[in-house]
Structure 1
């Protein structure tokens, strides 16, 4: 399992993308995970991390692991309350489609609330 804690900054999205790419490289090289799966993970992780930076609170925790040999799981946690929403968007909206993309591209996704009044983990899985 790979874990990193990043500051709530837009720059953290790029750092996380680079780290996820590096962490997945041995799996790709060994043909255990497809390049397309890693690309999808990078896209969806970018969306969820951006949500944590913009709408969450505190540090952003990113975790990546393989679930048996069947899936790649990415988890993004922050200390903020509230749940991500899949909202109806106008065609000309410039943002707000991230969770809809997670819903569409992942095999499973969800939100786990942490113990206490604040904190959540948004996670998604992609088949390998």
Structure 2
């Protein structure tokens, strides 16, 4: 399992993407995970980490694990409130990230994290 704790800064999104790319590289090289899967993983991780930075509170924890034929990414922060998938106006400049997670992932969900506050947003991608 890969685990990193990042500050609540917009730069953390790029750092998370870079670390995820590096962690997945051996699997891509061994043809165990496709580049398309990693591209989808990076897109969705950007959305979920951005949500934690913008709407969450405290440090952002990113965990990635490979279990069988899937990758599971979890992003936790100390903020309250769960992300929602809502109807967006056609001219809205943001708010579509979780809709992308729902569309592209095999499964996704939210849950309360450890402690009195905090949440975890997770998604899974099939590797086959």
For the criterion TM > 0.5, the same-fold answer is: yes
Q: 1:84 to 1:22 in 2, by over 3 A?
A: same
The question of whether the paired residues in 2 share the 8 Å contact of 1:73 and 1:125 is answered with yes
Correspondence for 2:96: 97
Identify unmatched segments of 5+ residues in structure 1: none
The question of whether the paired residues in 1 share the 8 Å contact of 2:76 and 2:113 is answered with no
Residues 24-77 of structure 1: per-residue CA shift (max 9 Å, x gap)? 000000111010000000000000000000000000000111012x10111100
Correspondence for 1:87: 86
Identify unmatched segments of 5+ residues in structure 2: none
Normalised TM-score (structure 1):
0.97
Normalised TM-score (structure 2):
0.97
Q: What are the residue-to-residue correspondences of 1:63-82 with 2, within 5 Å?
A: 63-68=63-68, 70-82=69-81
Secondary structure of the corresponding residue to residue 19 of structure 2: helix
> How far 1:112 moved relative to its partner?
1.4
Count of equivalent residues: 127
Correspondence for 2:15: 15
Q: Distance in 1 between matches of 2:126 and 2:114?
A: 29
Secondary structure of the corresponding residue to residue 95 of structure 1: coil
Q: Distance in 2 between matches of 1:90 and 1:25?
A: 38
Correspondence for 1:118: 117
Q: Distance in 1 between matches of 2:4 and 2:116?
A: 23
Q: What are the residue-to-residue correspondences of 1:35-50 with 2, within 5 Å?
A: 35-50=35-50
Q: CA RMSD in A?
A: 0.7
Q: Distance in 2 between matches of 1:25 and 1:55?
A: 30
Secondary structure of the corresponding residue to residue 84 of structure 2: coil
The question of whether the paired residues in 2 share the 8 Å contact of 1:81 and 1:117 is answered with no
